[in-house]
A and B are shown apart, each in its own frame.
Chain A
Amino acid sequence: MGRGSRDYALWSIGILLVLLFALIPVLWLISVSLKPPEAITDGRFIPSEVSFDNYKSLFEGGIDDSPFIKPLINSIGIALITTVIAITLAAFTAYAIARLEFPGKRVILAGALAIAMFPPISTVGPLFDMWRALGLYDTWPGLIIPYLTFSLPLAIYVLVAFFREIPWELEQAAQVDGATPFQAFTKVIVPLAAPGVFTAAILVFIFAWNDFLFAISLTSSDASRTVPAALAFFTGESSFTAPTGSIAAAAVVVTVPIIVFVLIFQRRIVAGLTSGAVKG
């Protein structure tokens, strides 16, 4: 079986390469975050000694003085609120598109696609000006609104793809039994649609969690600055030390939970990311 074992070896190498490709930066960040300050510049991939000082410094001083706690709360709060609102609005729209006959359906889908391609930088200037006039600058809603706009197309496309797979006869049966369209939607379809909704929610959350451009353009303080923006403004203990260690520790804190989450729900994420890319 020379050919079989050669194939096996080739695939093993391929898989190993993919694993290394994906994991090296993450392992490296963890390594840097665990190095004591004096060893940060040793350039070793595996730390020679392990210390949790970088993590401690993130949370030192409690909520008022820590450079990290407030941004972390902002990131979680803003991403969660965005997800809940975006999924609610997208579910209504996707239901109408997958299920009802009305003029304008194609326009909405095409418009959503256009917005998915829209360059966010083109809206930053006007939003900066408008938000200052409306008092939304440096507030949670000031970030939630643009995140909603730019995550809705993604959520609508994912949900339409999932909703088209649902056995709609059940809804008709409920309507025959006297349920209104609204009741048929909430009592029959919502439970069936839950997996798709959950997938869309993960993708929207990751989108809001990841944003940097709006986060640095529309905030100016810890009142609403999220973690990606806060990381860019991290400073060292003194003006002579680079904040490398604390940035690495903060990066690990915001990365590990997401990675665990992504790994647990990987099947759904793959289905969501490729929904609509294949017909059927």
Chain B
Amino acid sequence: MEASAPANPNPPAAAGASARTRSERKLAWMLCAPAVLAMLAVTAYPIGYAIVLSLQQVDLRFPDEGGFVGLDNYVSVLSSQLWWTDFFNTVFILVTTVAIELVLGMAIALVMHRAIFGRGVVRTSVLIPYGIITVVAAFAWQFAFAPESGFVNNLPLISDEMDWFGGRFSSFAVIIMAEVWKTTPFMALLLLAGLVTIDSGLYEAAKVDGASAWQRFTRITLPLMKPAILVALLFRSLDAFRVFDTIFIMTRGAQDTESVSILGFNQLISRLNLGLGSAVSVLIFLCVFLIAFLFVRGFGARLEEGRPGG
């Protein structure tokens, strides 16, 4: 970012300039303070508080018992089968949804970018899933797949008897499908933003040299889009790791489909065990931190080109 120009291109005497700089700084800090406080109030303080709670025995159903227990809560969580099942589920959903979304989002981005007609229609329709409440989308897909009311089992090639929410991996299939439907538009738009920056002259030159459409895609589009793809993958991965709404509506974690966020919610809000629940919260926080670290350090995602997820 270039230095923002001072009001006067010819700085006056040094004393005047520094007075001006000081008042500019003061104004800037005053303008930023409310937003910074609002952001810290519900993130930095609570995560600190969560760490404190996670080191204690705090169960609101037994308010008299309590006290410092060190890392006992973490030991309980990490040695439980449930945490590892839920962790596997979350990673499984993350990897499958993000992979499907990358392919589908790229296809939609290409249609939006290159379509010889109907671009407006495509852009309009991909925004529909973005505007729909996740819970509403989850209900729509749940009703569609429910054996008693849905239309899916009446489709050709699908058994009328298929009980989608009766098994673990068929439940996952529906959950993943709903997640993909809801968040692919976001992926497609981020990829489109990367796509439009590619110089179309490169494609013309490659065409002249006899490159096929597939070669042009793999040799020009993909390498030049690497930064956009990495940023899109990072934001969607972090988002997918927090998966909660869809699972809560569809199965509430039945059939071993619980995610780590559902586990945290159950401990904190349903069982009021703030100590154990906070340990889960802190572990989720560390996982998210690790994913971000991996992308930035491991794959070289350049965050200054990114933007917060929607």
Contact = CB atoms under 8 A, between A and B. Distances in A.
Interface stretch (A56-64, A189-197, A206-214): A206-214
Nearest to A212: B245
A34 interface: no
Interface in A78-112: 89-90, 92-93, 95-105, 108, 111-112
A127 B5 CA distance: 43
Interface in B1-35: 3-7, 21, 24-25, 27-29, 31-32, 34-35
B133 A276 contact: no
Nearest to B121: A15
A262 to B, nearest CB: 4
Given A29-B140, A244-B143, A277 B193 contact: yes
A276 to B, nearest CB: 4
A270 B123 contact: yes
Contact of A259 (B128, B228, B269): B128
Interface stretch (B75-83, B163-171, B236-244): B236-244
A264 B68 CA distance: 56
A16 B303 CA distance: 35
A259 B27 CA distance: 40
A154 B308 contact: yes
Nearest to A18: B122
Given A127-B46, A274-B193, A22 B126 contact: yes
A217 B151 CA distance: 33
Given A266-B123, A277-B193, A101 B38 contact: no
Interface residues of A, number: 109
A29 B274 CA distance: 38
Given A89-B34, A112-B39, A149-B41, A210 B268 contact: no
B69 interface: no
Interface in B76-133: 107-108, 111, 115-118, 121-133
Interface stretch (B203-211, B216-224, B279-287): B279-287
A231 interface: yes
B43 interface: yes
A40 B285 contact: no
B149 interface: yes
Size class of the B contact interface (CB-based, 8 Å) = 35 or more
A83 to B, nearest CB: 14
A121 B238 CA distance: 13
B251 interface: no
A259 B128 CA distance: 6
A280 to B, nearest CB: 8
Interface string A240-280: 00101001100100110011011100100110011111111
A157 B269 contact: no
Interface of B: 3-7, 21, 24-25, 27-29, 31-32, 34-36, 38-39, 41-43, 45-47, 49-50, 53, 107-108, 111, 115-118, 121-137, 139-141, 143-144, 148-151, 153-154, 181, 185-186, 189-190, 192-194, 196-197, 228, 231, 235, 238, 241-242, 244-245, 248-249, 260-261, 264-265, 268-269, 274, 277-278, 281-282, 284-285, 288, 292, 303, 305-310
17 contacts: A96-B32, A108-B32, A115-B308, A117-B308, A119-B281, A121-B264, A124-B264, A125-B269, A149-B42, A153-B308, A154-B307, A156-B35, A175-B7, A251-B140, A254-B136, A273-B186, A279-B305
Interface of A: 7-8, 11-12, 14-15, 18-19, 21-23, 25-26, 28-29, 32, 40-41, 43-45, 89-90, 92-93, 95-105, 108, 111-113, 115-130, 145-146, 148-150, 152-154, 156-158, 161, 168, 172, 175-176, 181, 203, 206-207, 209-210, 212-213, 216-217, 227-228, 231-232, 242, 244, 247-248, 251, 254-255, 258-259, 261-263, 266, 269-270, 273-280
